[in-house]
Structure 1
Amino acid sequence: MLRIDGLSKRYPNGHLALEGIGLEVAPGEILGVVGGSGCGKSTLLRLVAGLEAPTAGEVVLNGRPVRGPRDEIGFVFQEPRLMPWLRIRDNVAFGIRHLPKAEREARTVQALARVGLADFAGAWPRELSGGMAQRAALARALVGRPSVLLLDEPFSALDALTRYDLQDHLLSLWAYDRPTLILVTHDIEEALVLADRVVVMLPRPGRVLTIATPPLPRPRNRTDPLFEVWKHRLLADLSRAFRHRVSGEEAFPAAAI
């Protein structure tokens, strides 16, 4: 169980990025977090990952507070961030260098096979397309077998067809051992395709506006009328959050729908 309890973050310049975030994410759940720029989505992921320390509150994973990076927590960034001087196999294995060679090589082969890059283990990052590079980044995150995987808009820089393909591929990868996923995205449709629950954030400071649990069966069909209904509901919530940002109107209480 991942628990986020009263989490706030104020930077040294006085900027309050997050205030009083409280969430519980069940083992194996996929949680989508959506909101406009400046609502603290990426800050939330960095705090959960232990890459930054909160000003108040805490993150607790399996009964232990997160006070720094942990092997159980993987992170996929918006850009692949592959090291250009390492071949793909070595990029994927970089985070498990501490393991015995035989286990490290077995895990790397398995991870590359799972993302469809077995034939590109010896390639250089510059030889991969954008979609293939992001697959390699997924393999690098999965090779450590994390129980929690954090994804910060991992497909936003890709064209629509590649993005749809990787969304489906991510679900296939998740189905192997069902880690807990937290996905930050600007894309309501992406959140609905992937997530069990969707959190809509208010900006400045970042707070929870609504938490939605769309009753959509998997695999999800983007052309299903019910999918469209929920897409419009969440777009309406994003519009409310935007009005709050530009007009300074009172914050809405968090609600579950």
Structure 2
Amino acid sequence: MPTTKEDYAHHISQQFNNELEEVRTHFLEMGGLVEKQVADAMHALLDADSVLASSVQENDRKINAMETRVDEELVRILARRQPAASDLRMIIAIGKAITDLERIGDEAAKIARYAQALCEEGESPRGYVETRHIGNQVRVMIHDTLDAFARLDVDQALKVMQADVEIDLEYKTATRALMTYMMEDPRYISRVINVLWVLRGLERIGDHARNIAEQLIYLVKGADVRHVSYEQVEQKIHG
């Protein structure tokens, strides 16, 4: 049966209920920091702000620490409470989703490193228009997938999955254009390669946001929607 917020509001043990809510809160706090990391990495790139780029790389440690903390909380709940049904799904979903959040943090730190390299090279290279556009879309994806998790909103999760399909297409188009530009003007190869790595990082962030959306659908519907197309997922959810 579908899961609702109310299902998590009634437990024989109020302490168990508090523990579940606390771990969900910590997961969303981690998500908030990850979302900020991506935004800051993009600002560092587009504004040529090497100080902000350094800050993003330093903050990656905080994300790693938060992942460890949430993971330990989940293990404690499993060991002490032996949860069943929807509660177990929540623990499994969050356990998998924090891995994706941590990897988004890693990609943000990589983008910050490329931002520093591009700052040192001076002139803004080609590809920044596409980078800004895809970066904005990816940031919206992260926000929407965390919002879906907070509200247990399957329809919002489906929108995130659809957005990932669109980002994949735009990434391929931008990559082709930049490859053509490099072949036409070899003087800018090193700069454009760094931009290509940024775009690759953004595309991967979109993939991780989609993975988190898939875990939300599993949590609410009990359906494993990994490795299937958006159309198949929509059919599975809405019949």
Short-chain TM bin: under 0.3
Please state which structure has a larger fraction of its residues in helix: 2
Q: Normalization by structure 1: what TM-score?
A: 0.24
The structure where strand makes up a greater share of residues is 1
TM-score by length of 2: 0.26
